[in-house]
Structure 1
């Protein structure tokens, strides 16, 4: 008897009547799962998958492996993240090899089985408990980024293969069931295309790292652009392709933005809950929230904002924000709150979406959570449009909407989104009341949703090793962060692709520029400096932590901060001297003896002779002190000993280098005044 037969027999004896593991049956689950990651299964499992595209029906062993046994191994009562990681480590490399074979032979059923499995194996008990609805929107807590990207690169060329496209165009669109767990018997090239796009969308939406991996991958982008030319515009899978492209496109790659906006708006208008249907959240296999995510990514570019600028489009976004006004606080038995982020301050008079009476409390909570997320993305889209002055005027004219936004009592992410939107809306009024005091050396601007852990490492290093005054508060509101910018000498931009599309991040950078703050772009993840970010950072020196290791990147950052502190110190000193000089009747050049110079005379002398850096080494010195310094430099046996001591102090205290030319000019200029004073 083979091991497979033995496993099947033991499973049949211990499983439920529905061929499931059942509760409290850990021994059976461990038996099945361990078999699925053993070397013994590989040949049998591969044979079973190959059978899917033959005319022969599956034999009993193959049917158990592909359906009953696989579902048992994925049993959500036992399958957790640890099991997921073990399963992926064993099977993902094998899946990729099998896909190469099946793509070559165009074995669609086998391809469909593997692609569907790639989604199912990421659904674990932890991820399902965290957010049920998001299991089909993104991969939660994905640990296999590189492996999934490699598989995507393997399967994606299929959508531009000539023989595959011929079948795609021949499909009956009306018969396509765009659900990833659709019946295996219903198999078409259209379904495979959509499933590939589905996995790519989920991967891109997973987190900032996955998003950046796709956005920076020219192979993937070129295939997608090619598919956009080859797939008919009326084909339902084209929508998923378009949403992916607008999410990852760079400014230089945008073509015909109006056509793209029109298509997005046309499909956003079909969002089901706008028409009273609260049981469906997708259209042509694309979730409503994915449409809004794509639109938000597209709206970061000014040229796209210009073509989006129609009152009807802005009105549509305002309607989509309405769920923020509805009661979304659902309670379990025992009054346990589901949503702590949002509490309405008054009963909305707008047409807020209500949860279906037929749903359970859990369903209500998930429904409200999803609607709120969609509303927040719509509000972020409106926030992006506020960077267009004409759009800002139109939005301001929606006085009832703006009033409701102002009166929402919200917390967490909702509060930050609203606060940033209102600050930008009231920007002119806000900036008039700002007073600058430079109480911070540095303010850190970053994407809180995706880059917090990386930025926190930088912050901790700076405060542990240097005495910098830094504004860094994960809980602060966007309006407070904008005030911190005013109070800082320079602003550290922790840049990533998700940073570029975040309206609050853009608001902070533009505010810093408008207040003439020095900007230090620190590249956290590979980023293309295009659009608004590229135009603002054109003349700023960038520190690339992707190119350099952490230590070198931080050293470069320290150099930039110290340079800014030096510039600020010298600027303030020079400004103070100019004020003193205006009110003074004397000039150091008219004083007969250098020993009679005041501290202000010494600094005037240094600035007049372009010896600014020496101001740092002669603070509070008067003429007598300056003469003594000059004499010490002359007395030393080694002419350069004085230079070395000054250079060491400058480097230790200010992380600056004393140029030899400045040192020589310093001695020569003083010598003239000493010579004059001797007569």
Structure 2
């Protein structure tokens, strides 16, 4: 038979190359199909198809012409799928079958073609490849490999399955429905079975204990492509499937990895580097955050060994920077892996103990690569504690880097994902006062406001994150005032806070929390505190949603033991901040459930800050092993006893928690008695001469007795607050207290407030503190050395005898 037509068309395609038009390709496809239908001989047909596919290889697959809708719907592609792929897969059971060379050629062609999937042609690609017969054949082949060890010595089938997995993986970035995932589930479960079989363990054990080696086809399929394929399914599989793989393979992988000398990593091949990257990703980051604690607890020791080894590899790479060719590629992979480990809270706490990790990460902030710098700063934001930030020579560099990156990416459509990642990582840094101050100085506020009010930005991935960053910044008074003065912004967040659309409920929550901070918090802090014997709840639990399992367990046990407890059971949607504030005000004790996630949450910070300002009894409990609070959280729980739920059995920790709660309740009873007793003493000492309330005190404070001090505070109506701290002071000691207040008004207010709360469970209002400073100055001698040194332009102290 004359095949000159096919020869001619193949020649035209080869000669045209990248310049060939879609119309000309369609014409060639029409002629291909017409000729193939006239041929019955299978071998001849295979040879002609091979000739056609080879000619198409000169058309660069990245230029998208071959993925045009007119061609994706063409019968030629379906002939390749049905007559080459499916028929050869069906015949895999035939012993001594000789597979045509065209099988791999078609697979490679289709794999490259799938790189051009986009939202416009997605349905056509799904129609071509989400084909039930094809999917079932792939799934059955995988099951036969894992169950019976079939085809493991057949390189052609191994390579065919490898290409097909990569082809299907290319769908992962697009809008694949749950029904679509269900239709291709035979492949997923086949891959799971393969990775759980003994052969996968044998393949890891067969690796040389060195980073310098080549992989065979079986190792590439099982240890590289299969883990890579599973990254697609994070939303749609039950976590137990992946946890099963970890229990079988993680320890063997850790043993192999940690026995490979760090100094040889920069020499590893691209294949081996991919295998390590995909396996590490599968083992470390396969699940959504709701399940991440399972991995954190069960595989902690292996994770710690791996992260320590990665830090040794990084040290080796940085010290051997003479190998300029691969250094950026190696560092990019290493830093990405390190960031993945930071998602596990316990491992994150371990990473904070690796002495040279932060210096190495800081060393890489100058590398001119956006992805490296982003991941470096994401790691630093999680690993650095307040002390580390304070010792940095230039914390302003972090602020300027973020502001530059935000400016450069917020208007670039092609960098939307990177822009979102930047905002999310900035959340970690705004917890640190030094970076917060630098961000405000360098005008980050207008940029973040822009992210909130412009409708072009995604409500959840941009607007909500920007609101949360602004909430963190609003703990700085300067930022708070700037935001309050921006009328357009205030009106906008008011609208957002009233929008109860179910799809943007988390955006509404963020707006409501920020509005609370800007408009309502100060008024609520200063309103009167409930009487000690009128609390509605014994305990309010403040926690991060990521720690909900343990917190709910504590809550249930407290309820069983008869305590009245308030907890926001659904803190993803959550109660309004007004409702939470009301719960705080009406709770005798507030449990602060400390963890990395709690510290990083601006919502948790809002709750804890309000509880502290309201003078609540704070009982800190530790939910992560090796966790040490720092920064704002460290300040709030300073000097308090922690109840640790990670280093002992739950029942033992819970008993200690009960003891703390009961101790506070007993202490509160004694406080009430002490307050009443103190008041009785004061009133009994002055009962005989009530006129002293109206008469003048000695005009110089240095002449006051203890009774005069008491009378002074009763006269200015502060006998229920500051007097409780001064009952044994005479005039000289009260003068010393006043001089301390003049030296640093704000810190002394915080100190007095803290002591009054801790000792007498009484709130010191700022108005009471200012009243004290104002009223006492009329009794202070101008000759007081310390007063002279501090009065300057702020105070005008008169002579005692003027009165």
Alignment TM class, shorter chain as reference: 0.5 to 0.7
* Structure 1 partner of 2:402: 264
Give 1:393 shift.
0.4
Residues 48-88 of structure 1: per-residue CA shift (max 9 Å, x gap): 8899956x8x7665665566777788886997644423332
Equivalence map 1:319-398=2 (5 Å): 319-322=450-453, 351-353=454-456, 368=458, 372-398=460-486
TM-score when scaled to structure 1?
0.64
**In 1, distance between residues paired with 2:422 and 2:514?**
21
Equivalence map 1:636-675=2 (5 Å): none
The answer as to 2:554 corresponding to 1:458 is: yes
Does the residue aligned with 2:546 lie in a helix, a strand or coil? coil
Does the residue aligned with 1:538 lie in a helix, a strand or coil? coil
**Would you say the 8 A contact 2:224–2:275 is kept in 1?**
no
Instruction: Name the CA shift for 1:572/1:393 in 2 (closer, same or farther; >3 Å).
Output: same
Residues 261-303 of structure 1: per-residue CA shift (max 9 Å, x gap): 11122112223xx2150x4435xxxx43332233222211223
**Structure 1: where are the runs of 5+ without partners?**
172-187, 323-350, 355-367, 588-679
Does the residue aligned with 2:450 lie in a helix, a strand or coil? helix
Higher helix proportion? 2
Residues 289-331 of structure 1: per-residue CA shift (max 9 Å, x gap): 3322332222112233222223721111112224xxxxxxxxx
Instruction: Name the CA shift for 1:461/1:161 in 2 (closer, same or farther; >3 Å).
Output: same
* Structure 2 partner of 1:94: 252
Does the residue aligned with 2:592 lie in a helix, a strand or coil? strand
Residues 508-530 of structure 1: per-residue CA shift (max 9 Å, x gap): 22322322222221222243232
Instruction: Name the CA shift for 1:73/1:482 in 2 (closer, same or farther; >3 Å).
Output: closer
- Deviates further, 499-508 or 18-27: 18-27
**In 2, distance between residues paired with 1:576 and 1:29?**
71
Residues 490-522 of structure 1: per-residue CA shift (max 9 Å, x gap): 322122222222223222223223222222212
* Structure 2 partner of 1:155: 310
* Structure 1 partner of 2:542: 446
* Structure 1 partner of 2:664: 564
* Structure 2 partner of 1:473: 568
Give 1:421 shift.
1.3
Does the residue aligned with 1:494 lie in a helix, a strand or coil? strand
Instruction: Name the CA shift for 1:566/1:81 in 2 (closer, same or farther; >3 Å).
Output: closer
The answer as to 2:243 corresponding to 1:85 is: yes
TM-score when scaled to structure 2?
0.55
The answer as to 2:444 corresponding to 1:313 is: yes
Residues 629-651 of structure 1: per-residue CA shift (max 9 Å, x gap): xxxxxxxxxxxxxxxxxxxxxxx
Does the residue aligned with 1:275 lie in a helix, a strand or coil? coil
**In 1, distance between residues paired with 2:656 and 2:647?**
12
* Structure 1 partner of 2:368: 234
Give 1:217 shift.
2.8
Residues 632-678 of structure 1: per-residue CA shift (max 9 Å, x gap): xxxxxxxxxxxxxxxxxxxxxxxxxxxxxxxxxxxxxxxxxxxxxxx
Give 1:480 shift.
1.5
**Would you say the 8 A contact 1:522–1:544 is kept in 2?**
yes
- Deviates further, 374-383 or 541-550: 541-550
* Structure 1 partner of 2:268: 108
**In 2, distance between residues paired with 1:13 and 1:164?**
40
Give 1:98 shift.
3.2
**In 2, distance between residues paired with 1:376 and 1:25?**
34
Residues 14-53 of structure 1: per-residue CA shift (max 9 Å, x gap): 9789645999798888777545444445555666889995
**Would you say the 8 A contact 1:115–1:195 is kept in 2?**
yes
* Structure 2 partner of 1:540: 640
Give 1:403 shift.
1.0
**Structure 2: where are the runs of 5+ without partners?**
1-95, 97-144, 169-181, 688-803
* Structure 1 partner of 2:515: 422
Q: How many residue pairs are counted as aligned between the two chains? A: 504
**Would you say the 8 A contact 1:102–1:111 is kept in 2?**
no
Q: Which has the higher contact order (CA 8 A, sep 6+)?
A: 1
* Structure 1 partner of 2:87: none
